[in-house]
Amino acid sequence: MNFLLTLILAVASVNHGGTYVGSVVVEPGQVVDGDVNVVMGNALIEGRVNGDVNVLGGNIDNRGVVTGHMNAVGGEVVQSIVPWAPGTSGWAPDAPDYHLWWRIAWDVVVLVVFLIFPVRTRMALARLEQHPAIATFGGLCGWVAVLPVAVLLCITLVLIPLIPVEFVLLAVAVFIGKAALALLIGRRFYELLQPAVTPSPLLALVIGLVLLTAAELVPVAGYMFTGLIMLVGLGAVLLTFIPETTVPPGIPRSPIGGPPMPVG
Protein backbone atom coordinates (compact mmCIF):
# COMPACT_ATOMS: atom_id res chain seq x y z
CA MET A 1 0.00 0.00 0.00
CA ASN A 2 2.85 2.40 0.83
CA PHE A 3 4.32 1.65 -2.58
CA LEU A 4 1.06 2.58 -4.29
CA LEU A 5 0.72 5.82 -2.33
CA THR A 6 4.29 6.73 -3.21
CA LEU A 7 3.55 6.29 -6.90
CA ILE A 8 0.37 8.34 -6.74
CA LEU A 9 1.66 11.08 -4.45
CA ALA A 10 5.25 11.25 -5.72
CA VAL A 11 6.88 14.66 -5.13
CA ALA A 12 9.22 16.25 -7.65
CA SER A 13 11.79 18.89 -6.72
CA VAL A 14 11.68 21.92 -9.04
CA ASN A 15 14.29 24.59 -9.68
CA HIS A 16 12.59 26.66 -12.36
CA GLY A 17 9.14 27.94 -13.20
CA GLY A 18 6.75 25.93 -15.34
CA THR A 19 3.72 23.64 -15.31
CA TYR A 20 3.96 20.33 -13.45
CA VAL A 21 1.62 17.33 -13.09
CA GLY A 22 1.77 15.92 -9.58
CA SER A 23 3.11 17.28 -6.29
CA VAL A 24 6.21 19.47 -6.28
CA VAL A 25 8.55 20.94 -3.67
CA VAL A 26 10.87 23.94 -3.73
CA GLU A 27 13.76 22.88 -1.50
CA PRO A 28 15.11 25.10 1.29
CA GLY A 29 17.57 27.62 -0.14
CA GLN A 30 16.30 27.01 -3.69
CA VAL A 31 15.33 30.09 -5.74
CA VAL A 32 12.79 29.54 -8.53
CA ASP A 33 12.33 32.28 -11.10
CA GLY A 34 8.92 32.29 -12.79
CA ASP A 35 5.44 31.02 -12.00
CA VAL A 36 4.98 27.49 -10.65
CA ASN A 37 1.78 25.83 -11.93
CA VAL A 38 0.78 22.46 -10.47
CA VAL A 39 -2.00 20.18 -11.75
CA MET A 40 -3.39 17.31 -9.62
CA GLY A 41 -0.84 17.71 -6.84
CA ASN A 42 0.37 19.81 -3.92
CA ALA A 43 3.00 22.55 -3.81
CA LEU A 44 5.39 22.67 -0.84
CA ILE A 45 7.38 25.91 -0.82
CA GLU A 46 10.38 25.84 1.48
CA GLY A 47 12.61 28.07 -0.64
CA ARG A 48 11.84 31.21 -2.64
CA VAL A 49 9.58 31.58 -5.68
CA ASN A 50 9.94 34.77 -7.67
CA GLY A 51 6.50 34.57 -9.21
CA ASP A 52 3.07 33.08 -8.60
CA VAL A 53 2.15 29.63 -7.34
CA ASN A 54 -1.02 28.20 -8.94
CA VAL A 55 -2.38 24.79 -7.96
CA LEU A 56 -5.33 22.95 -9.52
CA GLY A 57 -6.49 19.89 -7.57
CA GLY A 58 -4.21 20.30 -4.60
CA ASN A 59 -3.00 22.51 -1.73
CA ILE A 60 -0.24 25.05 -1.17
CA ASP A 61 2.00 24.72 1.88
CA ASN A 62 4.09 27.89 2.00
CA ARG A 63 6.99 27.69 4.44
CA GLY A 64 9.27 29.94 2.40
CA VAL A 65 8.79 33.08 0.33
CA VAL A 66 6.42 33.62 -2.62
CA THR A 67 6.76 37.08 -4.16
CA GLY A 68 3.58 36.78 -6.26
CA HIS A 69 0.09 35.46 -5.63
CA MET A 70 -0.90 31.99 -4.46
CA ASN A 71 -3.97 30.33 -5.99
CA ALA A 72 -5.27 26.88 -5.04
CA VAL A 73 -8.44 25.27 -6.41
CA GLY A 74 -9.44 21.89 -4.97
CA GLY A 75 -7.57 19.84 -2.41
CA GLU A 76 -5.58 16.71 -3.37
CA VAL A 77 -7.39 13.40 -2.83
CA VAL A 78 -10.62 14.81 -1.38
CA GLN A 79 -11.19 17.18 -4.27
CA SER A 80 -10.38 14.40 -6.76
CA ILE A 81 -13.33 12.40 -5.41
CA VAL A 82 -15.67 15.22 -4.35
CA PRO A 83 -14.94 18.15 -6.66
CA TRP A 84 -17.21 20.60 -4.83
CA ALA A 85 -15.40 20.18 -1.50
CA PRO A 86 -13.70 23.47 -0.50
CA GLY A 87 -9.93 23.64 -0.74
CA THR A 88 -7.32 26.00 0.61
CA SER A 89 -6.63 29.18 -1.25
CA GLY A 90 -3.80 31.58 -0.82
CA TRP A 91 -4.84 34.44 -3.06
CA ALA A 92 -5.06 37.82 -1.39
CA PRO A 93 -8.48 39.44 -1.02
CA ASP A 94 -7.09 42.67 -2.38
CA ALA A 95 -6.23 41.05 -5.74
CA PRO A 96 -9.60 40.14 -7.33
CA ASP A 97 -8.39 41.04 -10.79
CA TYR A 98 -5.82 38.25 -10.69
CA HIS A 99 -8.51 35.81 -9.68
CA LEU A 100 -10.50 36.94 -12.70
CA TRP A 101 -7.56 36.48 -15.07
CA TRP A 102 -6.96 33.00 -13.64
CA ARG A 103 -10.57 32.07 -14.55
CA ILE A 104 -10.30 33.66 -17.97
CA ALA A 105 -7.15 31.63 -18.69
CA TRP A 106 -9.08 28.39 -18.06
CA ASP A 107 -11.92 29.67 -20.25
CA VAL A 108 -9.42 30.08 -23.07
CA VAL A 109 -8.42 26.44 -22.58
CA VAL A 110 -12.11 25.47 -22.79
CA LEU A 111 -12.41 27.42 -26.03
CA VAL A 112 -9.37 25.66 -27.51
CA VAL A 113 -10.68 22.25 -26.47
CA PHE A 114 -14.01 23.08 -28.12
CA LEU A 115 -12.24 23.93 -31.38
CA ILE A 116 -10.29 20.65 -31.22
CA PHE A 117 -13.26 18.43 -30.28
CA PRO A 118 -16.37 20.11 -31.79
CA VAL A 119 -18.19 16.85 -32.52
CA ARG A 120 -17.66 15.42 -29.03
CA THR A 121 -18.78 18.74 -27.53
CA ARG A 122 -21.92 18.68 -29.65
CA MET A 123 -22.67 15.12 -28.52
CA ALA A 124 -22.18 16.13 -24.87
CA LEU A 125 -24.54 19.07 -25.41
CA ALA A 126 -27.20 16.75 -26.80
CA ARG A 127 -26.87 14.38 -23.84
CA LEU A 128 -27.02 17.29 -21.44
CA GLU A 129 -30.24 18.57 -23.00
CA GLN A 130 -31.89 15.18 -23.05
CA HIS A 131 -30.73 13.67 -19.74
CA PRO A 132 -29.51 16.31 -17.25
CA ALA A 133 -30.25 14.15 -14.19
CA ILE A 134 -28.49 11.11 -15.66
CA ALA A 135 -25.52 13.33 -16.61
CA THR A 136 -25.26 14.53 -13.01
CA PHE A 137 -25.35 10.99 -11.65
CA GLY A 138 -22.85 9.83 -14.27
CA GLY A 139 -20.50 12.66 -13.32
CA LEU A 140 -20.69 11.66 -9.65
CA CYS A 141 -19.85 8.05 -10.55
CA GLY A 142 -17.01 9.23 -12.76
CA TRP A 143 -15.38 11.33 -10.06
CA VAL A 144 -15.77 8.57 -7.47
CA ALA A 145 -14.08 6.12 -9.85
CA VAL A 146 -11.00 8.27 -10.52
CA LEU A 147 -8.90 7.12 -7.58
CA PRO A 148 -9.93 3.42 -7.65
CA VAL A 149 -9.03 3.24 -11.34
CA ALA A 150 -5.61 4.76 -10.60
CA VAL A 151 -5.05 2.21 -7.83
CA LEU A 152 -6.04 -0.65 -10.13
CA LEU A 153 -3.57 0.59 -12.74
CA CYS A 154 -0.87 0.62 -10.04
CA ILE A 155 -1.69 -2.92 -8.98
CA THR A 156 -1.20 -4.21 -12.51
CA LEU A 157 2.31 -2.66 -12.55
CA VAL A 158 2.46 -2.97 -16.35
CA LEU A 159 -0.26 -0.30 -16.72
CA ILE A 160 1.31 2.22 -14.33
CA PRO A 161 2.34 4.51 -17.25
CA LEU A 162 -1.38 4.89 -18.04
CA ILE A 163 -2.04 6.75 -14.77
CA PRO A 164 -0.96 10.15 -16.19
CA VAL A 165 -3.04 9.36 -19.28
CA GLU A 166 -6.08 8.83 -17.05
CA PHE A 167 -5.74 12.29 -15.50
CA VAL A 168 -5.09 13.94 -18.86
CA LEU A 169 -8.25 12.35 -20.27
CA LEU A 170 -10.13 13.43 -17.15
CA ALA A 171 -9.02 17.04 -17.64
CA VAL A 172 -9.98 16.99 -21.32
CA ALA A 173 -13.40 15.52 -20.45
CA VAL A 174 -13.99 18.25 -17.86
CA PHE A 175 -13.12 20.96 -20.39
CA ILE A 176 -15.37 19.41 -23.04
CA GLY A 177 -18.17 19.16 -20.50
CA LYS A 178 -17.80 22.80 -19.49
CA ALA A 179 -17.86 23.79 -23.16
CA ALA A 180 -21.11 21.85 -23.66
CA LEU A 181 -22.68 23.46 -20.59
CA ALA A 182 -21.54 26.91 -21.70
CA LEU A 183 -23.03 26.30 -25.16
CA LEU A 184 -26.36 25.38 -23.62
CA ILE A 185 -26.48 28.32 -21.22
CA GLY A 186 -25.18 30.81 -23.78
CA ARG A 187 -27.72 29.76 -26.39
CA ARG A 188 -30.64 29.88 -23.97
CA PHE A 189 -29.58 33.30 -22.69
CA TYR A 190 -29.20 34.69 -26.20
CA GLU A 191 -32.58 33.33 -27.25
CA LEU A 192 -34.16 35.08 -24.26
CA LEU A 193 -32.88 38.38 -25.60
CA GLN A 194 -33.41 37.61 -29.29
CA PRO A 195 -36.12 34.91 -29.56
CA ALA A 196 -36.20 35.04 -33.35
CA VAL A 197 -32.43 34.54 -33.75
CA THR A 198 -30.30 31.48 -32.99
CA PRO A 199 -26.67 32.33 -32.16
CA SER A 200 -23.69 30.64 -33.76
CA PRO A 201 -22.02 27.95 -31.61
CA LEU A 202 -18.93 30.12 -31.06
CA LEU A 203 -20.99 33.12 -29.92
CA ALA A 204 -23.12 30.93 -27.65
CA LEU A 205 -19.95 29.42 -26.16
CA VAL A 206 -18.43 32.82 -25.40
CA ILE A 207 -21.65 34.08 -23.82
CA GLY A 208 -21.98 30.91 -21.76
CA LEU A 209 -18.38 31.10 -20.55
CA VAL A 210 -18.88 34.71 -19.48
CA LEU A 211 -21.97 33.74 -17.46
CA LEU A 212 -20.32 30.69 -15.92
CA THR A 213 -17.19 32.65 -15.02
CA ALA A 214 -19.29 35.35 -13.38
CA ALA A 215 -21.00 32.69 -11.27
CA GLU A 216 -17.67 31.07 -10.34
CA LEU A 217 -16.31 34.40 -9.09
CA VAL A 218 -19.03 34.68 -6.44
CA PRO A 219 -17.33 34.34 -3.01
CA VAL A 220 -17.75 30.90 -1.38
CA ALA A 221 -20.69 29.90 -3.58
CA GLY A 222 -18.40 30.11 -6.61
CA TYR A 223 -16.57 26.96 -5.50
CA MET A 224 -19.84 25.09 -5.24
CA PHE A 225 -20.75 26.26 -8.72
CA THR A 226 -17.37 25.17 -10.11
CA GLY A 227 -17.88 21.73 -8.60
CA LEU A 228 -21.34 21.48 -10.15
CA ILE A 229 -19.92 22.40 -13.57
CA MET A 230 -17.25 19.72 -13.27
CA LEU A 231 -19.79 17.18 -12.07
CA VAL A 232 -22.44 17.72 -14.75
CA GLY A 233 -19.91 18.33 -17.52
CA LEU A 234 -18.02 15.10 -16.88
CA GLY A 235 -21.26 13.14 -16.74
CA ALA A 236 -22.43 14.56 -20.08
CA VAL A 237 -19.14 13.55 -21.71
CA LEU A 238 -19.29 10.04 -20.25
CA LEU A 239 -22.81 9.63 -21.68
CA THR A 240 -21.46 10.29 -25.17
CA PHE A 241 -19.67 6.93 -25.02
CA ILE A 242 -22.94 5.10 -24.38
CA PRO A 243 -25.03 4.25 -27.48
CA GLU A 244 -28.00 6.58 -27.57
CA THR A 245 -30.51 3.76 -27.74
CA THR A 246 -29.33 2.40 -24.37
CA VAL A 247 -29.81 5.69 -22.51
CA PRO A 248 -33.09 5.68 -20.55
CA PRO A 249 -35.68 8.06 -21.98
CA GLY A 250 -35.66 11.51 -20.47
CA ILE A 251 -36.38 14.99 -21.65
CA PRO A 252 -37.35 15.04 -25.34
CA ARG A 253 -34.58 16.18 -27.60
CA SER A 254 -34.60 19.78 -28.73
CA PRO A 255 -32.65 20.71 -31.86
CA ILE A 256 -29.16 22.02 -31.42
CA GLY A 257 -29.32 25.51 -32.87
CA GLY A 258 -26.82 27.42 -34.89
CA PRO A 259 -24.84 26.75 -38.05
CA PRO A 260 -23.19 23.32 -38.35
CA MET A 261 -20.06 22.98 -36.26
CA PRO A 262 -16.81 22.12 -38.02
CA VAL A 263 -16.00 18.42 -37.96
CA GLY A 264 -12.28 18.77 -38.02
118-170 residue pLDDT tens: 999 999 999 998 899 999 999 999 999 988 888 888 888 788 888 888 888 99
Question: pTM of the prediction?
Answer: 0.57
Classified as helix, coil or strand, 24 is: strand
DSSP letter (8 states) at residue 263: -
Sequence letter at residue 129 = E
Determine the Cα angle at 177 with ends 38 and 113, to 5°.
65
DSSP letter (8 states) at residue 26: E
pLDDT, position 10 = 55
CB 90 within 8 A of CB 68: no
CB 183 within 8 A of CB 201: yes
CB 140 within 8 A of CB 231: yes
Determine the Cα angle at 183 with ends 206 and 223, to 5°.
80
Classified as helix, coil or strand, 71 is: strand
Residue 80: what are its φ and ψ, rounded to 5°? -70, -30
Give 247's Cβ-side CA count (13 Å radius). 25
Q: Which of 1, 39, 7 is nearest to 20 (CA)?
A: 39
70-126 residue pLDDT tens: 887 655 443 444 444 444 444 343 434 456 777 788 889 999 999 999 999 999 999
Question: What average pLDDT does range 203-228 have in this prediction?
Answer: 87
Question: What average pLDDT does range 246-251 have in this prediction?
Answer: 49
CB 238 within 8 A of CB 142: yes
Task: Please give the sequence-ordered ranges of beta strands (E in DSSP) within 53-183, or none if there are none.
Answer: 53-56, 60-62, 65-66, 70-73
Pairing of strands 48-50, 31-33: parallel
